[in-house]
Structure 1
Amino acid sequence: MTLLEQYKDKQKKISYLGHAASLMNWDKETTTPEGGMEKLAEALNYFQTEIFKLSTSDEAFDLVCKLAEPEEFDKLDDVMKFDITRNKRDLEKMRRLPQEVFEEYVKAVTKSSIVWPSAKRASDFSKFEKELGATIEAVKKYQSYVNPDKKPYDALIDQFEEGMTQETIDRVFGDLRKELVPLVEEVTSRPEPDHSKFAFKVPAHVQDKVCRFLVEYMGMDMTRIAFGETEHPFTTSMNLDDVRITNHYKEDNFIEPIFSAIHEGGHAIFCQNVDHKYEGTEGGVINYMGLHESQSRFFENILGRNINFWKPIWPKMVEMIPELANVTLEDFYKEINFVQKSYIRTEADELTYCLHVILRYEIEREIFKGNVEVKDLPAVWNKKMEELLGITPRNDSEGVLQDMHWSDGSFGYFPSYLLGSIYDGMLLEAVERDLGSVDDILAAGDIRKITKWLNENIHQYGSTRISSEVLKEVCGKELTAEPLIKYFKKKYSA
């Protein structure tokens, strides 16, 4: 075989192992009984270690280095040039990591992610404190080898949103913090909508039907999607033709699962529409989480919380949920845009959600500066909630234990949610520049025009452009929170 054929063969074997590990992780989150978790964790650890060993082996690195030499590199097409360049860079980092340190990290985050759900159900941080502490230390140790020239939290931010820095985040989050804290105070002082109109139960199987209808309406290819149910909704991609989303149905609150489905559907539509020429390469794996979150939150908030999204499909909604015949679309619109100071990030309205993310970012930043001890996190969390939203969680479950991210070591991920919303303000301007009024497009039932625009301008490129390059190319400007602030002020002044 040629060098390129040898390289592709090895990458294919790594992808097969990765597929198996992804299936195990999906099973862990959706169907594995509690009694089977330990054995599954052992199997998952094995596969992840084998992937690490194979991908960082001398043979794999030697192939990449030879293909990166000018005489071989110049023969490659653009897809493979990107793949080799990215893979060589990442391998140089990962080969600094001793296998035993990697195994310690995998064991720590696997155990932590298994303990977290039971601690959350018990609303007892003490049941999770030891495992979280071990995960934080494992993350720090991991980064000390992989990115020895960076501070740990800078490295973690860059890991989830390449090219992003604390300095930039501090600037744009600071702009939002300054504007949103008083805006939330103003909006929450207004009379509330009549929530009693929505005090009816919707069976889980009906919610599932509604959610499937909505993601298909948005532009989902239903032949390449699978659905599951978990404590915390998420999206995962086995490959470009096998994307999976989960939800958490609540019979007494059908609105939350609807918007979870729209949110995860946005992630999945991104995954499904990466150009297949990137399949099996670094370009086909979407690594920029701010950009990923911009797509999920664009569908969820910019489109899904717009009354015009619902106008063409309201009769279908009433058909599936007959109780909606007793409320008007205007009532529904007010309910889904009701702003309140709430405890749970995933249940928060689009306005206060920003403050929930700022809270997590500020805490993570202090953890990795060494200014916060694990045992003090519940108190620190509660103090931040009081500062930003004027409320104090009543227990650990609706406070520090509510998110899964820290349990699996995903420190540095939270900023991507708000970065995604900031990108959305900029993308909204770009969509309307190219297509005209989003209100008119949605009201006409042409949401797939917007989905196609996103496919063509963002999705098809996968990970071949970092977020700052996408914004410059698509929006024609550098990162700024001003369009999002403008959107919020215009919407909530009405």
Structure 2
Amino acid sequence: MTLLEQYQEINKKLGYLAHATSLMHWDMETTAPDGAMEKLSEAITYFSTESFKLSTSDEAYELVSKLSEPEEFEKLDDVMKFDISRTKRDLDKLRRVPADFFEEYVKTTTKASITWPKAKQNNDFSMYEKDLEAVIDAVKKYQGYTNPDKKVYDALIDQYEEGMTQETIDRVFGELRKELVPLVEKVTARPQPDHSKFTFFVPAHVQKKVCEFLIEYMGMDMNRIALGETEHPFTTNMNLYDVRVTNHYKENAFIEPIFSAIHEGGHAIFEQNVDHKYDGTAGSRIGYMGLHESQSRFYENILGRNINFWKPIWPKMIEFIPELKDVTLEEFVAEINSVQRSFIRTEADELTYCLHVILRYEIEREIFDGKVQVKDLPAVWNKKMEELLGITPPDDAHGVLQDMHWSDGSFGYFPSYLLGSIYDGMFLEAIEKDLGSIDDILAAGDIKKITKWLKENIHQYGSTRISSEVLEKVCGKELSAQPLIKYFKAKYDK
């Protein structure tokens, strides 16, 4: 076999291992019984470690190194040039991580991922404290191997949003913090909608049908999607032909699962729309989480909370949920756009959500700057919640224990949620410049025109363009929070 064929053979094996590991994670989060968790954890550790060993093996590294040499590199097409360049860069980092440490790292994060929901359900941070400390120590050690010349938190930010810096985040988050804290105070002082109109019972199986209808309406290929149920909704990509989405149905609060579906549907559509020429290569693995979150939050907020999104499908919604005939579309839209100071990030409105993310960013920054210890996190969390939103969580389940991200070591991920919203303000301007008013497009039932625009300008390129390059090519400007601030003020000053 040629060098390229040998490399592709190893890549194929790595794909199989990744597929198996992803399926086990999916099983752990969705249908596996509690009694299976220990064995499942052992299997995940085994397959993850085998994948790590193969990807960082001398054989794999030698092939990538040879293919990176100018004479061989120039023979490659653009897809493989990107794949080899990205793989070489990542291997240079990963090969510095000892295999025995990597195995312990997987064990540590898997253990914490099992402990976290139990601590949340029991509202007991002390159950989780030691495991979280172990994860933070492991993350620091891991970054010490892979990015020895970077401050840990800078390396973590770059890991989830390549090219992003703490300095840039401080700038744009600072702009938002300054504008949104007083705006939230102003908006929440106004009369609120009658929330009691939307607490009627909607069976989970009906909610599931509604959610399937909505994501298909948005442009999802339903032949390449699977749905599951879990405590915390998420999307995972097995490959370009198999994207999985979960939801958490709440029978007396049906609006939350609807917007979880729209949000996760945005993630899944991005994954489905990557050009298939990148299948099995680094180009298909979208690791820019700010860009990923921009797509989920664009569908959820910019589109999904717009009254014109619902106008063409309101009769269908009443068909699914007959109780909606007793409320007007205007009342429904007022409900889904109400702004409230709430404790749970995933249930927050689009305005206060920004402050939830700023809170987490500031805490993560302090953890890795050595300014806060794990044992003090509940108190620090509550203090910042009071500072940013003017409320104090009644318990840790509504505070520091509400998110799963820290248990698997995903520090540096939270900023991507708000970066995504900031990108959305810029993408909205670009779309309306190209296609005209999104109000008109949505009211005509042509949401798939917007999905097509997103595919052509963002999705199809997968990970071959980092977020700053996408902003430059699509918007023609550098990152700014001003378009999002303009959108918020125009919407909520009404």
**TM-score normalised per structure 2:** 1.00
Say yes or no: does 1:282 pair with 2:282: yes
2:480 alignment partner, SS class: coil
Q: Report the residue type matching 1:380 in the other structure.
A: V
Listed as ranges, the matches of 1:29-178 within 5 Å are 29-178=29-178
Q: Report the residue type matching 1:277 in the other structure.
A: K
Provide the C-alpha distance between the structure 1 equivalents of 2:462 and 2:20, rounded to a whole number of angstroms: 22
Provide the C-alpha distance between the structure 1 equivalents of 2:117 and 2:199, rounded to a whole number of angstroms: 28
Partner of 2:298: 298
1:397 alignment partner, SS class: helix
Q: Report the residue type matching 2:85 in the other structure.
A: T
Partner of 1:488: 488
Provide the C-alpha distance between the structure 1 equivalents of 2:146 and 2:276, rounded to a whole number of angstroms: 30
Unmatched 5+ residue regions in structure 1? none
Deviations along 1:45-76, one digit per CA (max 9) or x if unpaired, are 00000000000000000000000011100000
2:96 alignment partner, SS class: coil
Provide the C-alpha distance between the structure 1 equivalents of 2:398 and 2:197, rounded to a whole number of angstroms: 25
2:245 alignment partner, SS class: strand
1:477 CA drift (Å):
0.4
Partner of 1:269: 269
Partner of 1:233: 233
Deviations along 1:102-134, one digit per CA (max 9) or x if unpaired, are 111111100000000010000110000010000
1:12 alignment partner, SS class: helix
For this pair of structures, how many residues does the alignment match? 494
1:198 CA drift (Å):
1.2
Q: Report the residue type matching 1:396 in the other structure.
A: D
Partner of 1:20: 20
Provide the C-alpha distance between the structure 2 equivalents of 1:477 and 1:73, rounded to a whole number of angstroms: 32
Partner of 2:327: 327
1:178 CA drift (Å):
0.1
Partner of 1:449: 449
2:339 alignment partner, SS class: coil
Partner of 1:471: 471
Q: Report the residue type matching 1:6 in the other structure.
A: Q
Provide the C-alpha distance between the structure 1 equivalents of 2:199 and 2:479, rounded to a whole number of angstroms: 41
Provide the C-alpha distance between the structure 1 equivalents of 2:239 and 2:282, rounded to a whole number of angstroms: 12
Provide the C-alpha distance between the structure 1 equivalents of 2:82 and 2:270, rounded to a whole number of angstroms: 20
RMSD (Å), alpha carbons = 0.4
1:347 CA drift (Å):
0.1
1:377 alignment partner, SS class: helix
Provide the C-alpha distance between the structure 2 equivalents of 1:199 and 1:375, rounded to a whole number of angstroms: 37
Q: Report the residue type matching 1:36 in the other structure.
A: A
Provide the C-alpha distance between the structure 2 equivalents of 1:214 and 1:387, rounded to a whole number of angstroms: 37
1:199 CA drift (Å):
2.4
Provide the C-alpha distance between the structure 2 equivalents of 1:201 and 1:409, rounded to a whole number of angstroms: 37
Partner of 1:247: 247
Q: Report the residue type matching 2:338 in the other structure.
A: F
Provide the C-alpha distance between the structure 2 equivalents of 1:174 and 1:36, rounded to a whole number of angstroms: 45
Say yes or no: does 1:216 pair with 2:220: no
Provide the C-alpha distance between the structure 2 equivalents of 1:145 and 1:237, rounded to a whole number of angstroms: 27
Q: Report the residue type matching 1:54 in the other structure.
A: L
Partner of 2:360: 360
Partner of 1:203: 203
Q: Report the residue type matching 2:358 in the other structure.
A: I
1:194 CA drift (Å):
1.1
Identity %: 79
Which stretch of structure 1 is more off in the superposition, 196-205 or 127-136?
196-205
1:274 alignment partner, SS class: coil
2:201 alignment partner, SS class: coil
Provide the C-alpha distance between the structure 1 equivalents of 2:60 and 2:269, rounded to a whole number of angstroms: 32
Provide the C-alpha distance between the structure 2 equivalents of 1:199 and 1:426, rounded to a whole number of angstroms: 35
Provide the C-alpha distance between the structure 2 equivalents of 1:342 and 1:462, rounded to a whole number of angstroms: 35
Deviations along 1:336-367, one digit per CA (max 9) or x if unpaired, are 00000000000000000000000000000000
Q: Would you identify which runs of 4 or more consecutive aligned residues in structure 1 move more than 4 Å?
A: none
Provide the C-alpha distance between the structure 2 equivalents of 1:401 and 1:372, rounded to a whole number of angstroms: 16
**TM-score normalised per structure 1:** 1.00
1:228 alignment partner, SS class: strand
Q: Report the residue type matching 1:122 in the other structure.
A: N
Provide the C-alpha distance between the structure 2 equivalents of 1:196 and 1:32, rounded to a whole number of angstroms: 36
Provide the C-alpha distance between the structure 2 equivalents of 1:146 and 1:77, rounded to a whole number of angstroms: 29
Deviations along 1:233-271, one digit per CA (max 9) or x if unpaired, are 000000000000000000010000000000000000000
Provide the C-alpha distance between the structure 2 equivalents of 1:100 and 1:148, rounded to a whole number of angstroms: 19
